[in-house]
A and B are shown apart, each in its own frame.
Chain A
């Protein structure tokens, strides 16, 4: 049972335009959400996160939006740059005073076209 879903395996965007990556989840106990970026042969790198008490969090070119009623979150990258080409993973966890293990989606490969 895939509790975190990224339904778009790939996405191509022109340099300078907005990239929008989507993620859906089914577990209503999830209350902390993260986006990681991964280059080939490297571990995931943390990008941005959002707690369920918020609906938006912004960090430079990256903004994450959370729609709790729809169990949906999205990552906006604007403007997109060639260095943004990577696989992006959405992840979720339950707030815990200890183990906050992450449940990941299957990833979306983003390609920025120069």
Chain B
């Protein structure tokens, strides 16, 4: 399967714990995005990578959130000191580095903070 892969699919954590999610994009894709989706809403942009460089972060991404893309391949999203409001579906997407091109999404990581 050469699609976008995310791990884990589900994560339940206690409030205050740290969690880390992984995304493996389609191998030829230079662009990588993280989005967050809550119930009844569409996905909301969190951050964007061009190769290994993180070029934009949404104001939704508080200081407790950090993302990396070492070597421009897979990416990780870490949430420190999780709060109940962090419960959501975290989606990763990747695309070719060209204009007007569609992004392909992974299946997402469902985070539940209890």
Contact check, B100 vs A104: say whether CB atoms are below 8 A apart.
no
Count CB-based A-B contacts (< 8 Å). Answer: 70
Contact check, B99 vs A97: say whether CB atoms are below 8 A apart.
yes
User: Residues on A close to B: CB < 8 A?
Assistant: 4, 32, 34, 36, 41-46, 49, 51, 89, 91, 95-107
Q: Which 3 A-B pairs have the closest CB atoms?
A: A104-B42, A43-B105, A101-B45
User: Residues on B close to A: CB < 8 A?
Assistant: 4, 6, 31, 33, 35, 40-45, 48, 50, 55-56, 91, 93, 95, 97, 99-108, 110
B6: chain A residues at CB < 8 Å are 43
Contact check, A101 vs B56: say whether CB atoms are below 8 A apart.
yes
What are 24 pairs between A and B in contact, CB < 8 Å? A34-B102, A36-B105, A43-B6, A43-B107, A44-B43, A44-B105, A45-B105, A46-B102, A46-B103, A49-B102, A95-B100, A99-B31, A99-B48, A99-B55, A99-B56, A100-B95, A100-B99, A102-B93, A103-B45, A104-B42, A105-B42, A106-B42, A107-B41, A107-B42
B91: chain A residues at CB < 8 Å are 43-44
Given known contacts A104-B43, A106-B40, A107-B42, A46 and B50 CB-to-CB distance under 8 angstroms = no
Contact check, B45 vs A102: say whether CB atoms are below 8 A apart.
yes
